Structure 1
Amino acid sequence: MSATIEQQEQPTSNSKKMLTAMVGIGALCALLIVLTYEGTAERIAFLKQEALQNAIFKVLPGIEKTRAFYLDKEGHFQPLPENQKEATVVYAGFTGQGELAGIAIQGAGQGYADVIKVLYGYNPQKEEIVGFYVLESKETPGLGDKIEKDEIFLANFEAMDVKLNADKSQLINPVTTVKSGEKNNLWEVDGITGATISSRAIGNILNESTSEMLPIIQRNISEFKIQ
């Protein structure tokens, strides 16, 4: 009888040891993940900010200086204080003489694989998008990622018409994506064959962002000053 009891208790003892070991390994892995995140978070944030600054100069050709502005609760743009985070931030670009040359605006929307984040340059005098850059994308390599490097596709955003109506309240023509080769108007995005969803997503992102942001920017254009 004693031997039988020992045989029945042995598996339970082994199970407890295995469970204890698994919990210990899990806790150690969790600790390592947290330490790695804490140790690299500052560096990652710095690199992201550096990449954003480089992108601003790409989407606003000819600028020499930039300044960040945030949209306050009253609907006005204020200079963004250093190390302060705000929900809606735009980046004004200025010439060497301090004249406003354009405004870089971020936009985001669902692509084929995940959310796509972009930055585009807006010329408020010409009312045109004058530059475009993909900040984050997980689109399919060789297909969807053409939104980042296809020269014909990127040419859509060198002088895209985003004019507002007379009272500056909405776009005259919404930004839309058309099939490759069927673009007839400057407010249209010439899509990419084989990457229909990704290229259509860009059109949707720009249409939503410009519809929301451009009327606010035009109403407050005098607030964008280098100092």
Structure 2
Amino acid sequence: MSVDVETHSQPQREPSTPLPVTPSWAMLRTLAGIATLSGLLVVMVYQFTQPIIAENERVLTERAVFEVLPGASSNVIFILDEHGISQVGEGRSGVRIFAGYRPDGSLRGIAFPAAARGYQDVIQFLFGYDPACACIIGSKVLRSTETPGLGDKIDNDPRFLANFDALDARLDPDGRALLNPITLVAQGTKTDPWQIDGISGSTISAQAMARALNEAAQRFLPIIQREQATLTQPTP
């Protein structure tokens, strides 16, 4: 008796088609083109937005000058460096300060910049100084990324801002440094006119503010006091 055995043959596979190989120089050329285009777009956006940003910063600083120098109706920019104070355009570089003038042309005070690291980033300030009383008469945060509702208290809390109504910034007898360093103390413990009464919930930002003010005042105020004659309102 014969037995039929069914045999199965394995189907033949179609020969695989090799994937196309992209030459490396072509990929490099494509990547270089994308990078060049991206860089060009970045440059174009920067060139377009830079004048707008600069103008916005100018307007904000202009407003801040009048906030930290109450009673001033006009201001003039000067350059301050280790050699003294000069008018803009005299070929010297340095820190830009702002002399504010009353309507009668008399000097109200000088606004000067300061900066220090806060909790998240560097905080930029503008402070107003009155040479007549040798005191700080205003403060303004120009740029900050501190936590809203906490770190921004240093710029909007009336009790804290009262520190800068007439904060003592007298110089020592030699006129080379502050007679008393400006320091931050715990809230409710202020005893001296050169101390900044702290603020709860914003300690790090307040510390940065006090540190920035003290360092800038130690550097700028001796020069400002010495060069007051330069700060008379220029004749148009």
TM range (shorter): 0.7 to 0.9
- Partner of 1:33 in structure 2? 42
DSSP-derived class of the 1:90 partner: strand
- Determine which of 87, 91, 102 is the counterpart of 1:95: 102
Question: 2:67 is matched by which residue type in structure 1?
Answer: K
Gapped regions of structure 2 (runs ≥ 5): 1-14
Residues 73-127 of structure 1 show CA distances to partners (whole Å, capped at 9, x for unaligned) of 6x22111129x78321211111111111100111111111111110010000101
**Inter-partner Cα distance in structure 2 for 1:85 and 1:137:** 29
Q: Which residue of 1 aligns with 2:131?
A: 124
Find out whether 1:157 has 2:146 as its counterpart. Answer: no
Q: Secondary structure at the match of 1:31?
A: helix
Select between 213-222 and 176-185 the one with higher mean Cα deviation: 176-185
Q: State the superposition RMSD in angstroms.
A: 2.4
Separation in 2, partners of 1:151, 1:135: 17
- Output the CA distance in 1 between the equivalents of 2:26 and 2:201: 54
| Higher deviation after alignment, 165-174 or 197-206 | 165-174
Q: Distance in 2 between matches of 1:54 and 1:85?
A: 25
* SS state at 1:13 partner: coil
The Cα of 1:29 is off from its aligned counterpart by 2.8
Q: Find the counterpart in structure 2 of residue 199 from structure 1.
A: 206
Who is 2:85 aligned against? 77
Provide the C-alpha distance between the structure 1 equivalents of 2:159 and 2:30, rounded to a whole number of angstroms: 57
Counterpart CA distance in 2 for 1:22 and 1:152 is 58
Q: Distance in 2 between matches of 1:23 and 1:29?
A: 10
Correspondence 1:1-227 to 2 at 5 A? 7=18, 10=20, 12-13=21-22, 23-71=32-80, 75-81=83-89, 86-227=93-234
Distance of 1:72 and 1:87 partners within structure 2: 5
Distance 1:94 1:184, change over 3 A: same
CA distance in 2, matches of 1:37, 1:201: 31
In terms of mean alpha carbon deviation, does 25-34 or 172-181 score higher? 25-34
Corresponding residue SS for 1:152: helix
Secondary structure (helix, strand or coil) at the match of 1:62 reads coil
Secondary structure, aligned partner of 1:56? helix
> Which has more radius of gyration?
2
What is the DSSP-based 3-state SS (H/G/I as helix, E as strand, rest coil) of the residue aligned with 2:145?
coil
Q: What TM-score do the two structures reach when normalised by structure 2? A: 0.84
Distance 1:106 1:81 in 2: 20
Count of equivalent residues? 220
Q: Is the 8 A contact 2:169 2:179 kept in 1?
A: yes
Structure 1 length normalisation: TM-score? 0.87
Q: Could you say if the C-alpha distance between residues 29 and 186 of structure 1 is closer, same or farther in structure 2, counting changes exceeding 3 Å?
A: same
Residue 157 of structure 1: CA displacement?
1.0
Structure 1: runs of 5 or more not aligned: none
Q: Post-superposition shift, 1:192? A: 2.1
Matched-pair identity in %: 40
Aligned-partner Cα distance in 2 for 1:32–1:85: 35
